[in-house]
Amino acid sequence: MKIEVALRETHDAETDLAAELLRVGERHKADHDVYHLTRTLSGWSDRHVHRLAEQAERYELDLDADAVEEEQDRGVLARVREKGSELLGQRPEPGLLLLRDLRELHLAAARASLAWTVLGQGAQAVSDPELLETVTACHPETIRTMKWTVQKIKEASPQVLAS
């Protein structure tokens, strides 16, 4: 069985997504909705990572439940960025930066979503209802994160490009 591969890929993709959400939020603190919502959504992905680590135990696979936290600790520049964003926030250029960051976030969310799709198919193929339940509970949240990035790009781009 290669279900462990799919577990690991989903775990890693969700860890990346959680960390990327926090990074983008810190960088755009003056865009208050982005700042606050990325923290909420990162919390979802963090919860997904914990649930995946739990599931992995049944396959004797060691996935780090606290991966998001550790990823954050590695982001030593995060606080610096956060301060910097308050100053940056008053010049028009951050608009373009926001669009770029939202695009990256979207791709990270899409990667995670695809990983869930694969894992969900695998869970059905190996008849693991517990794993399938995890997928069913978590995957919709990742899709919501992905949809939010699209919505935010739609909202933000006209003003960035027309001004």
Partner 1 sequence: MRGYPAVVPDRIADPWGSRTPYPRGGAWPVRVDTFLRDGVTSDEVEQWVPTASLLHSNGDAMDVAVKDGRMVGVRGRADSRVNHGRLGPKDLFGWQANESGERLERPLIRRGGELVETDWGSAMDAIVDRSRELLGEQGPSAFGIYTTGQLFLEEYYTLGVIGRAGLRTNHIDGNTRLCTATAAEALKETFACDGQPGSYADVDHCDVLFLVGHNVAETQVTLWARMLDRLEGPDPPKLVVVDPRRTVPARHADVHLPVRSGTNLALLNAILHELISDDQVDHAFVDAHTLGYDELLKRVRDCTPEWAAEICGVGADEIRAAAEILGAHDRILSTCLQGVYQSHQATAAAVQINNINLLRGALGKPGGGILQMNGQPTAQNTRECGANGDLPAFRNWANDEHVEQLAQLWNVDATAIPHYAPPTHAMQIFRYAEQGSIRFLWISATNPAVSLPELDRIRSILAKEDLFVVVQDLFVTETAELADVVLPAATWGEKEGTFTNTDRTVHHSGKAVQPPGEARADLDIFLDYARRMDFRDKDGEPLIKWHDAESAFKAWQACSAGRPCDYTGLSYEKLRAGGETQWPCNEQFPDGRERLYTEQDFYADPDYCESYGRDLVTGTAVESDEYRALNATGKAIIKAAEYLPPSEPPDEEYPLRLNTGRTLYHFHTRTKTGRAPQLAAAAPDVWVELSAADAQGHGVAEGDVVDVVAPRGVVRAPARITDIRPGVVFVPFHYGYWDSNGSADDHRRAANEMTITQWDPASKQPLFKTAACRIEKVADADGQAAPAPTTTASQPIASITPTVGGAAAEATEELAG
Chain residues binding partner 1 by CB under 8 A are 30-33, 36-37, 39-41, 89-92, 94-95, 144-145, 147-148, 150-151, 154-155, 158-160, 162-163
Cβ–Cβ under 8 Å, residues 41 and 148: yes
Specify the residue, 43 or 75, whose C-beta has the smaller distance to partner 1.
Answer: 43
Specify the residue, 40 or 121, whose C-beta has the smaller distance to partner 1.
Answer: 40
The nearest distance, CB 4 to partner 1, in angstroms, is 30
Specify the residue, 12 or 46, whose C-beta has the smaller distance to partner 1.
Answer: 46
Burial 59-81 (b: 16+ CB within 10 A, else e): bebebbbebbeebbeeeeebeeb
Burial of 151 (0-12, 13-18, 19+ CB in 10 A): exposed
The nearest distance, CB 25 to partner 1, in angstroms, is 11
Helices and strands per DSSP (H, E), number in the chain: 6, 0
The nearest distance, CB 2 to partner 1, in angstroms, is 32
Q: Helix (H, G, I), strand (E, B), or coil: what is residue 34?
A: helix
Give the end-to-end CA distance of the chain in Å, rounded to a whole number.
Answer: 54
- CB within 8 Å of 95: residues ≥ 6 apart: 156, 159, 160, 163
The nearest distance, CB 66 to partner 1, in angstroms, is 20
Specify the residue, 6 or 109, whose C-beta has the smaller distance to partner 1.
Answer: 109
The nearest distance, CB 7 to partner 1, in angstroms, is 25
Specify the residue, 72 or 145, whose C-beta has the smaller distance to partner 1.
Answer: 145
